[in-house]
């Protein structure tokens, strides 16, 4: 067994062999288009309907379109690394599984814990956004029904609860059915996005693009240092609102809009031909959404001055609908609300799918309770799906969603860094492995991916870093209290060595 204790690694061959165990076997029924649909359906959601306008008004100004390009470049570099791993290690768990094969059990646990933060928190945050749009859509048809109600000191969000329960049920029934539902809804929301672009072109005023990068804003009492980007804090900038620091901070914020293409990698074990289909699904979905994002960002900042998109004093945040409403195009605003409702539905569905597959992989390895890895007659991890659904329901229904986007960003970027580094390591340690897809220019591309992700992480707020470190410390404690002693790989080592495995 390579490595011992904290650094024991699980071979790629063993990971693949585990996928054939009868009690934990997932059904292979996904093709390239299913994966592209999953990727596009999870990526086109909150980002395109809310982040473009809000980031332009509050952080970057018209240069938000460039911020999307910068984020897309970082994601593209990481996507090449994910594509190689998904074709080489077609096993559920994504970055967790890849880290187990390259860096050892402790780092694998850390990244698994990190992915739990990414997927579960994102699912809770996006489902709350869905609930807000549900209330708007109900008003469009004449029903004034609040989706969030006071319940003692808490707010009970029944809209978010309803969404998570329905989607968890769909995922428990079968992944193929989930893919079909995603396809229908994805077609609807892509059509809405294209409508936004086409209609918005008629209202573009080139003067609104000037200044493309607005001058940096002076610090105020309402913008404490810990709320500005870590990079601007290190380099002595007053704030990260507008200016070059604002552009860079904007790129880190809109990165949230790209999160999801990596979820395609978590479904590799359920893919018919993962060596070819997984890379196509990852890279294809990222290419499609990048074009749509940049186009929408250019349209929304061309329609109205960026200052009209800033968050108001009473806390009202702008969306795509804001730009159309300012031009009196109310029917477009209504369609955008419906499109956003559809868009966020599939986002939550695929986030739940990704979370369940990571938990399933960790449970199969014994780092989480083994019973969660048992699959049903439908070939899905029923127990893991129910547990994830319950946790996300509680988070979405009773807890506020403030700052969740940045928490998701820092966790995802950390995962991207480890996956990119893992490609370099596995090329050196296992050059003999068959690779259905090979990332170009290794180690240059993975190194550029690591640097790009580190740069984006530095542009997140210092407070986000503090929260992230607290979450990671909690994960380390849980590993030593439970995961290390229950590790399947560790127990096999104990038997093979005739004693305990030391670190």
The 10s digit of each residue's pLDDT in 426-440 is 899 889 888 888 999
Q: What is the pLDDT averaged over residues 471-490?
A: 90
Q: Kindly tell me if the per-residue pLDDT of 471 is higher than 50.
A: yes
| Sequential DSSP letters for 307-368 | GGGSPPTT-PPP-HHHHHHHTT-HHHHHHHHHHHHHHHHHHHHHHHHHHHHHHHHHHHTTSS
Q: How large is the average pLDDT for residues 22-38?
A: 78
pLDDT digits (tens, 9 = 90+) for 318-362: 878 788 888 988 888 788 888 888 878 878 887 888 888 889 889
Find where tokens 């998109």 sit. Answer: 309
What stretches of 202-262 show up as alpha helix (H) in DSSP? 230-234, 243-254
Q: Decide: helix, strand or coil at residue 461.
A: strand
Question: 234 vs 345, which has greater pLDDT?
Answer: 345
Cβ pair 189, 346 in contact under 8 A? yes
**93-97, 225-229, 466-470: which is most confident:** 466-470
Mean local confidence (pLDDT), 111-131: 84
Please tell me which residue, 176 or 476, carries the higher pLDDT value: 476
Q: pLDDT value at position 231? A: 59
Is 0.75 surpassed by the pTM of this model? yes
For residue 477, the model assigns a pLDDT of: 94
Q: Which of 42-51, 347-356, 454-463, 483-492 has the lowest mean pLDDT?
A: 42-51
Residue 312 in tokens: 């108001």
> 474: how many CB neighbours lie within 10 A of its CB?
12
Over 90: is that where the pLDDT of 304 sits?
A: yes
Helix axes 158-173, 382-398, angle to 10 degrees: 170
Asked if residues 44 and 190 have their Cβ atoms less than 8 Å apart, the reply is: yes
Q: What are phi and psi of 150, to 5 degrees?
A: -70, 135
300 SS3 class: helix
pLDDT in the model for residue 220: 55
> Locate tokens 């495995």: which residue?
501
Most confident of 232-236, 309-313, 404-408: 309-313
Local confidence band at 136 (pLDDT 50, 70, 90 cut-offs): confident
Residue 140 pLDDT greater than 90, yes or no: no
Residue 237 has pLDDT above 80, yes or no: no
pLDDT of 498 > 50? The answer is no
Q: What is the per-residue pLDDT for 143?
A: 85
pLDDT mean over 460-471:
82
Using a 10 angstrom Cβ sphere, with 0-12 exposed, 13-18 middle and 19 or more buried, the burial of residue 417 is buried
Report d(CA 53, CA 301) in Å as an integer.
7
Averaged pLDDT for residues 84-108: 85
Return the higher-pLDDT residue of 394 and 2: 394
Tell me the torsion sign for CA atoms 236, 238, 243, 245. positive
Nearest-CA neighbor of 128 among 467, 403, 412? 403
- Give me the pLDDT at residue 446, please: 95
Phi, psi of 151 (to 5 degrees): -135, 85
Q: Which residues are CB-neighbours of 30 under 8 A, at least 6 positions away?
A: 175, 176, 179, 267, 270, 271, 272, 277
Tokens 């870590």 map to which residue?
Answer: 230
- Kindly report, residue by residue over 197-213, the tens digit of the pLDDT: 999 999 999 999 999 99
The tokens describing 159, both together, are 């809209």
Instruction: Measure Cα distances from 417 to 92, 129, 202, 424, 445 in Å.
Output: 19, 28, 41, 11, 12
Mean pLDDT along residues 381-386: 87
Contact call for residues 225 and 201 (beta carbons, < 8 A): no
Q: Which of 94-108, 400-414, 450-464 has the lowest mean pLDDT?
A: 400-414
Which tens digit of pLDDT belongs to each residue from 264-292?
A: 777 777 888 888 888 888 888 888 989 99
Q: Which of 324, 297, 300 is nearest to 205 (CA)?
A: 300
Closest residue by Cα to residue 5 from 341, 498, 495, 489 = 489
| 1 has pLDDT over 50 | no
pLDDT at 501 over 50: no
Q: What is residue 66's predicted lDDT score, i.e. its pLDDT?
A: 94
Termini Cα distance of the chain: 13
Residues in Cβ contact with 311 at an 8 Å cutoff, skipping those fewer than 6 apart: 54, 57, 58, 317, 318
Cα dist. 188→42, 44, 70, 493 in Å?
Answer: 14, 11, 28, 52
**Of 333 and 77, the one with more pLDDT:** 77
SS3 205: coil
Higher model confidence: residue 241 or residue 331? 331
Buried b / exposed e along 105-135 (16+ C-beta atoms within 10 A):
bbbbbbbbbbbbbbbbbbbbbbbbbbbbbbb
Quick one: pLDDT band at residue 235, thresholds 50, 70, 90?
Answer: low
Q: 176 pLDDT band (50/70/90 cuts)?
A: low
Residue 294 has pLDDT above 90, yes or no: yes
- Which residue has better confidence, 99 or 263? 99
> What pLDDT shows up at residue 500?
39
What is the 8-class DSSP label of residue 218?
Answer: P
| Longest distance between any two alpha carbons in the chain, whole Å | 76
Mean pLDDT of 476-500: 76
188, burial (CB in 10 Å: exposed 0-12, middle 13-18, buried 19+): middle
- The dihedral through the CA atoms of 183, 136, 56, 323 has a sign that is positive
Residue appearing with tokens 């319940």 = 151
pLDDT at 121: 82
Residue bearing the bigger pLDDT, 149 or 29: 149
The reported pLDDT for the residue numbered 225 is: 56
pLDDT in tens, 33-73: 888 887 887 778 756 777 788 889 888 899 999 999 998 99
What average pLDDT is seen over the chain? 82
pLDDT of res. 503: 34
Share of the chain above pLDDT 70, in %: 88
């Amino acid at each position: 067994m390579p490595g011992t204790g904290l650094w024991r690694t699980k071979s790629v061959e063993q990971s693949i062999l585990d996928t054939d165990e009868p009690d934990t076997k997932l059904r292979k029924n996904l093709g390239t288009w299913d994966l592209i649909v999953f990727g596009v359906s999870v990526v086109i959601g909150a980002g395109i309907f809310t982040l473009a306008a809000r980031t332009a008004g509050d952080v970057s100004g018209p240069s938000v379109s460039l911020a999307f390009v910068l984020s897309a470049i970082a994601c593209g570099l990481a996507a090449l690394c994910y594509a190689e791993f998904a074709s080489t290690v077609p096993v559920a768990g994504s970055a967790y599984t890849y880290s187990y094969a390259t860096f050892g059990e402790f780092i694998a646990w850390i990244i698994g814990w990190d992915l739990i933060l990414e997927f579960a928190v994102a699912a809770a945050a996006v489902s709350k956004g869905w609930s807000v749009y549900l209330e708007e859509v109900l008003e469009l048809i004449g029903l004034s029904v609040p989706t969030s109600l006071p319940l003692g000191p808490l707010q009970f969000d029944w809209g978010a609860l309803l969404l998570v329960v329905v989607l968890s049920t769909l995922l428990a029934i079968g992944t193929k059915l989930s893919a079909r539902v995603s396809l229908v809804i994805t077609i609807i929301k892509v059509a809405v996005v294209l409508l936004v672009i086409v209609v918005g072109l008629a209202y573009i005023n080139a003067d609104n693009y000037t200044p493309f990068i607005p001058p940096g804003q002076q610090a105020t009492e309402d913008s404490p240092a810990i709320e500005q980007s870590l990079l601007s804090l290190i380099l002595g900038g007053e704030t990260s609102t507008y200016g070059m620091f604002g552009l860079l901070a904007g790129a880190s914020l809109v990165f949230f809009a790209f999160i999801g293409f990596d979820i395609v990698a978590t479904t590799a074990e359920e893919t018919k031909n993962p060596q070819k289909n997984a890379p196509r699904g990852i890279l294809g979905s990222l290419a499609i959404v990048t074009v749509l994002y940049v186009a929408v960002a250019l349209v929304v900042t061309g329609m109205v001055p960026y200052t009209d998109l800033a968050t108001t004093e009473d806390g009202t945040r702008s969306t795509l609908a804001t730009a159309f409403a300012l031009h009196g195009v109310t029917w477009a605003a209504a369609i955008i609300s419906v499109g956003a409702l559809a868009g966020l539905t599939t986002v939550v569905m695929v986030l739940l799918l990704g979370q369940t597959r990571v938990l399933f992989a960790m449970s199969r390895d014994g780092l989480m309770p083994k019973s969660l890895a048992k699959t049903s007659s439908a070939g899905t991890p029923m127990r893991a799906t129910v547990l994830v659904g319950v946790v996300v329901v509680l988070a979405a229904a009773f807890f506020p969603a403030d700052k969740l986007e940045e928490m998701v960003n820092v966790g995802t970027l950390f995962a991207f860094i480890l996956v990119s580094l893992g490609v370099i390591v596995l090329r050196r340690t296992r050059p003999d492995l068959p690779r259905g897809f090979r990332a170009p220019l290794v180690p240059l591309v993975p190194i550029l991916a690591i640097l790009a992700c580190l740069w984006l992480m530095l542009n997140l707020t210092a407070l986000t870093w503090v929260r992230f470190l607290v979450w990671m410390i909690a994960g380390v404690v849980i590993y030593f209290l439970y995961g290390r002693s229950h590790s399947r790989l560790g127990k096999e080592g104990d038997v093979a060595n005739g004693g305990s495995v030391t670190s």
